[in-house]
Amino acid sequence: MKKFIGLILAMLILMMFTGCNDEGKVKQGRTIAFDKEKGQVTFIEDKSLVKGKPEYTILPPSVFLIPADKTEMGGDPTPGQRMKLDADKNSITIFNTATQQFEEIPYTLIEKKTKVGKDDPLVKGKKFPIVDRTAKTIEIFSSRQKIYVSFSLPIEYFALPDETWAAGDEIRMYYKEEGKSLRLMNITKTDIFKK
C-alpha cells in the first residue's frame, strides 16, 4: 500500500511540473497590420538574439488575435512596413504587402545626420515619415538608430501609402495556442521605467 501511495504522489508531482504547468511561449516583432474590428494583429517576427539589433526576416508574417481580456494589452499597435534602414548602404527594406515579400530599395541620399536625439530641432515636433509626393522626397527619423535621412526614389514608389516608410510598433506576444495571444505588450509605446 505504501508503494501505491508513493506512486500516486510521484504521478501528481510529475503532473504539476509538466502538463498542468504549461508556461506558454513568447514572440516579438514589428507590426505590419492591425485590424481593430477583427481584433487581429499581423507582425514580422524578430529572429535576432542581440538586444537593440533586430532582424525582421521571418516569413510568412505571424497573425494573432489580440487578448480577449483587454487589461492584458497595452496601447494599440501602429503598423508600418519599414523593416530596415541601412544608412551606410543607402537602402531601405520594406515588407511589400502586394507580394508578401521583403523588398530592398536603393535610394538617392539627399541628407543624412547621425546622433540625432528625439529633442533635436531637426526632428522635434515632426511626425515621420514625411512623404513629399511633389518633390519626390521622403524624410525618415529612426529614434533607435538616432539617424535622420532624406532621400529620393523613383516615381513609382510614391504610389505606396505613407506607412510603407514607417517602422511599425515593436510588440511582444505571450501565448499558449498559436494565433491567440494571452498578453500583448506594445514595446514601442510602453515606458517600463515610468513610475
Predicted local confidence at residue 14, as pLDDT: 46
Predicted local confidence at residue 190, as pLDDT: 76
Predicted local confidence at residue 134, as pLDDT: 95
Tens place of pLDDT for every residue, the chain, 195 residues?
555 454 455 554 544 444 445 688 999 999 999 999 999 999 999 998 787 788 999 999 999 999 999 899 988 999 999 999 999 999 999 999 999 999 999 999 999 999 999 999 999 999 999 999 999 999 999 998 999 999 999 999 999 999 999 999 999 999 999 999 999 999 988 755 444
pTM, to two decimals: 0.81
Predicted local confidence at residue 16, as pLDDT: 47
- Grid look-up 527594406 returns 93
Domains with residue ranges and CATH for the chain: 24-79+168-195 (2.40.50.320), 82-165 (no CATH)
| Cβ atoms < 10 Å from Cβ of 13 | 10
Q: How many residues does this entry show for the chain?
A: 195
C-alpha cell at 134: 511633389
> Which among 166, 165, 169, 168 has a CA at the least distance from the CA of 188?
169
Predicted local confidence at residue 53, as pLDDT: 82
Predicted local confidence at residue 22, as pLDDT: 64
The type of residue at 123 is V
Give the whole-angstrom CA distance, residue 173 versus residue 171. 7
